[in-house]
Structure 1
């Protein structure tokens, strides 16, 4: 990578960060290796391109997302230390990870064994799961953003920042193709991205790790986008025979084109991945995929292109050698001068030999004392992370260390394995010192309490006290549980769930009450009947025309055939009496014309025929008179 023209190299940004080397260039920013001159530590510096830095709205979103990610403390997320501006440069100071990216690994090894693929996928999902639960969506998951440290740790980079990226991130077809390969269909079609878009991208990445190839591959970005929208991701075994069905199911589920069919978030996908791993045999986990590349050794690895290069050897090792206790010992003294030898080969006087021995003993004694004070009484804490508790305790005891165990819940580390140690791996500790290990209790879970028969208000309090969230309330009729008390919960009593999980509550409406039909009754009589049935009554002020007599009940809502709960309200509407409408004069007209005209005026019609005629010669209500709307007018035809 040509860096000769980069003006930031050698520059001290914001009076603090000395830029030493350029690591990578992206569509939004350039990443440098830098040194924090205040804290004397190496870090990665992401500097926004000047063309984007001139957009105030873009910078605001860049800063806002940086603050969000900075609050996301997770061991598998690249940490954000600082954010600032120096002239036209807007930057982020981030954790520096010495190692390579998943893209480098895939380029060097081709397809990975299932065990290795899951070993990478699980910490990625743990990081995404923590972000999803914190309200963040990555939006640009791909192998380039998965960093693998020299110590084997897996970290996810560029959390949350890609939301601010616009077309500047797709300036070239190459970079666009690298991005579109992992876009979910809803991102392409609607421009929306929630947690399930990250799940889709992780499914594509897993497919690529298992097969060595992207599931959708076209000559142009447009072709890839079309395939995302119209073609399902094929099971990996179709490309790499031998991939276990459980892994096929995992990829197919995560990459469903309909987001509703995918796991809801990375936490759910992580659970599915662990379940799939548990179902596989060692042979299936360690199967070599057909497209795996032969190991090219360390020589090839030195020439690989890496977004996060391996660190340049520092002077620390040399300085450590210069500080060894041996150089602190006093130089040997010359033996005291004695009589000159009288002939060749004569031994020096005995006193001189004793003085020399004493001097050497003094040198070695001082050296040993200094060594013991500085190093001899110390040892290094061995690494025990992810080991079962008993194995970790044996390993620490073998190093001469005492162990104190503490328990802590973890969504990522399986139950019984070590989450962390204090002091940490590689730290110096006195040979008889104590190492505290934190052992996972597995995910924190609580049992759903048994709430049957509890009043709704008390049931909600009990759910909160148990660390759960009261969810939706559904009311149903029941002749076994009193009205207003809980029938059951969903999930049911005794089921274990994470703290904060919403629990739906089904509440009894009591036995159903049959409301009496009070249409045609006076308001007082109707009210009495309904109250005796245990119902509340409300009378509407507005009245309606009705076939019922004036000032009686024209309508009731709900109707008399609707089951109600005790205490439900019934609304009554009173009648203004029938609406009087003028009857058309249809005598002398044909039967069809007369019937049509009368119906149009709001009347029912009954035809009475004499012989075989078709002319109306009489009608039951004379034309011009008024009759109740909806009443029946009889016409006589001959």
Structure 2
């Protein structure tokens, strides 16, 4: 049995902050993982660009564009983006984590949705899209895969990977972007998109939700694109007769081939959807049945018997029966009239009671569903500007009370959070406290120099100690002992520092290895073991160190850290020179000149004024002997 390969990202710590837990989904451009934000202690979704796209500037730009586009939006129906960055060669995007499913998964399970379910989902999608259009952003990749249905009932629009700022017409610059099944005719034919292109995609999604299938299918993508460009989308009711005419009209309006005939933006379509929504809901409620009442004087079906029906005995004749009925006609008529009046009065009371109970139920439903008693999600506002965050909270139906607090992560002047926290459920109309960051607290820095590195990290728990440590060779400080603490700029830290600010420990790696007297190979191996590089200087003679062994070592940096270079000087051994033969007919003066040129000193028994005339006849040491340069050679006569 083969074992599935383990994703190398699982368990990885990204940028010193996000611990990857598990994989959520994989797309063509990136993989989405569930991670834990260790600083804020919350679950997030982290989107990591595929490694093979890291060198593609187009994809990198699109990835960063997604972060910027989504970060400009603060809306309950848009997935919040918290952070974006680069860890080594890996680009990542940190988003709000929403446990649940996508609209695509819902459609796979249920095929098609009811008109009421379609209205509920489209209301949320259009509300989020309206916020994007208002901010000047065109999504350009609307499809069921990008509509998230959270377990707590929230519906959010995500994946702004293809989003761009909206101009009059936003050109794609490529043949086709987005998913072919939802591309508008103008994108197919001219490669341009604006807010109305998003509306077309919304209309296709509505058609698919109501019918369980897309309006255009084909074996090749270009066949589908051709249909988008040349055909009018049919009405959903042509596939599903249960679809009301109001939704037929909305789909046709949104998917008109002419952009000028569509809604200008999502806000216009949302307003129309909310206008027809009450009629759709009321027309699809189950009919209430009531007991059938037989009125006096009305025709009675054969064999029917009521409390007012009189049964003539089997032995009575028709004439007798007729006579009896005629005799009692006056009394029965009066009795029936009184009975009818009683039923009529009772009916009024029943109707009044039903209306009262219905009103109470409707009022209670309104109060807790849409009125002041309704629970709704508090928008995520962290890192937004206070004005933007206040607008988002007020749009969600909350009163806002401003406050301030220190925050080690969020820069001063930006929103650091709310109470209740973002994503929590709170009563509509209640007050939410909006905290604006004062920046991090300034804390005293404990003195950790001279302590073991593990103890130093524990003492500096209120700060972010960068991992790994910076090691430095020292003959005075024991190994694994802190030599210094550096701030984010690489300078020794002062007495105070911001909370969670980054600090780096400089830790002793012990003394430098002593490689004097080693061979070159052994010296290189010893230095490589502590991550030091080797360079060589000019070899030198030495009386103490044999030839081809390290004579000396010298650092090229101060201090010396792993990765730095040591310069080694190799020994050439003793400087020995062979004594030449100088008693072969040379004068003492000539012998002296020859010997001094080789670095020897010369002694002679011949007076200096005679050295030019006297021929040398004796030398010591003898010719051919090797002696140290600078030694004395005797040249005599006799």
- TM-score of the superposition, structure 2-length normalised? 0.45
The structure with more radius of gyration: 2
- TM-score of the superposition, structure 1-length normalised? 0.45
